[in-house]
Amino acid sequence: MIKIGPFQFGYNAVENNARRQAPKPRIYHEGEVLPPTKRTKLLATTQDQMRNHALVAWMVRKHLDYVSKFHISFRTGKPDLDKLVNRIFKWHGAPRNLDYLGRFGRDEMFRLFELEKVVSGDAGLLKLDDIKLQALESDLIAKGVDAPKGVDDSGFLLDEGGRIIKYCVCKRGTNGSKPVFSHMEDRDAVIFDGYWGRFGSQFRGVSPLTSALNTIQDISEAFEFNLIKAKMHALFGVAILREADPDSGAMGGAAGATAETEDATATDTGTHQDLNPRAINMLDMAPGEKVAMLESATPSAEFVEGSYLFIQTALLSIDIPITSFDSRRSSFSARIADLNEYEVSCDAKRTKNRYVRQDYSDWVLSQIWGKQENVWHLRALASRYHMMLRDVQEAVEWVASGSPWMDKYKQVQGDQLSIDIGLDNAIDAARRRGTDVFANIDKQAQVIAYAKRKGVPLVIGGSASVPASSETSGTPKPDDPKPETEDE
């Protein structure tokens, strides 16, 4: 009979040995892993790194460039309704109409909303009665001092199933102390979103930068120490050496060295040279003296190479490729491949922000439909086409800004080929670059009509220059060959 040892089959990751950190024995609710006191420390640390570390600030800005910018698309095929709704959102996008404090327009408001999410884990926007939004930073949604009974440690009032009923809004305490309760807000009055890493046992979002905070802190300190080392070599850059005096028995050293004895202190009469950085310096040295330059390869090649690895590890926390940090180390094709991979990772984040924008537009249209109907007449106009409020809300689409061109000529050729063989379409191709093909056609029609009135030639679709006033039939193009005659 063959006996099988107890560890012949199984997962090595759950075995405890002295070679690595012991496996974790328990699974906790995320609120227990990160209780309010530790969460405050995490938020304060992340925000401090945003203030003081250029790498973190750049990472967040790059992230925002790709996931937070959208434009509205509203097309129902009913020109007067389309025009009215687009006018409404253009009007409401101005700072004076959108922001309670009158500082931020719509694009900047939602960019800062995403910034608060990625730095602090989650954020909120409070819907006010005058169709304005008020920012709620993450730490202001909390169980503050004198909070009502029933508010949990996360700052929420929950029902029996764990769904949020109300948000506990606080004022920030003096000098960063514990927040103080202000008031409760209904769930429907707050746009709330965050970054979650657990399926059900997590109420508050956690910044994705958390996994990189220690690495970034170490990188920053290493950079500072290497700069200090370089400064020291710059300050002590020249040494004048001389041979030992055989009569005194002293060892050779720098000029001006001092030797102490029990009876007296005798100063070696070395040669002192004052260097003027703004003039040509001539060193008048005694016989046997020579100049040595104190040099050091700071930072070393090994340190630079290692720093790139640590920076790349930090960038992984929010999926940014290393080629975005330094494109000189990669080929053009590698940059294209990295951008495509990054686009995939950005898709889920854009989808979250699209839901947030949809919540915002649904709320604005409902307010216009009801409280400001006498101003905009939206309900009356939609009723002519037998459209209800929900129909108008669903016609609003938020389109992401897309990606920048890397090689416009080649990428346009690729899009054109994909469209020609049915793998793509003009609508999606335009959206990948943050534009609207219908808006492009409308604008192009305006340009063609204007050029036709002015008699200015245009190049359309790769054709030769043709006066816009020329008719398509009966008028030969300038580059067309003349018809042959019998004489010729």
pLDDT at 482 over 60: no
pLDDT at 488 over 50: no
Average pLDDT over residues 79-90: 96
How confident is the model at residue 333, as a pLDDT? 84
Average pLDDT over residues 478-486: 47
The CA R_g of the chain, rounded to the nearest whole Å, is 34
Nearest to 69 by CA among 403, 407, 406, 424: 403
Residue 450 structure tokens: 């204007």
Residue 396 structure tokens: 């609003």
Q: How far apart are CA 138 and CA 124, in angstroms?
A: 7
Q: Quick check: pTM over 0.85? A: no
Nearest to 67 by CA among 106, 105, 103, 113: 113
Q: How far apart are CA 170 and CA 363, in angstroms?
A: 24
User: Please, which residues bridge with residue 74 across strands?
Assistant: 396
For 153-157, 345-349, 455-459, which range has the lowest pLDDT when averaged over its residues?
A: 455-459
How confident is the model at residue 96, as a pLDDT? 96
User: Please, which residues bridge with residue 397 across strands?
Assistant: 73
Per-residue pLDDT tens digits for 248-299: 555 554 444 433 434 444 444 455 556 677 777 777 777 777 777 666 667 7
Other beta carbons less than 10 A from residue 447's beta carbon:
13
Q: How far apart are CA 400 and CA 71, in angstroms?
A: 7
- The answer to whether 232 touches 148, Cβ cutoff 8 Å, is no
Per-residue pLDDT tens digits for 148-197: 999 999 999 999 888 999 999 999 877 767 899 999 999 999 999 999 98
How confident is the model at residue 183, as a pLDDT? 94
For 32-41, 296-305, 406-415, which range has the lowest pLDDT when averaged over its residues?
A: 296-305
Share the mean pLDDT of the chain: 84
Q: How far apart are CA 15 and CA 237, in angstroms?
A: 55
Per-residue pLDDT tens digits for 53-77: 999 999 999 999 999 999 999 999 9
- The answer to whether 133 touches 99, Cβ cutoff 8 Å, is yes
How many H helices and E strands in the chain? 16, 14
> What amino acid occupies position 119?
V
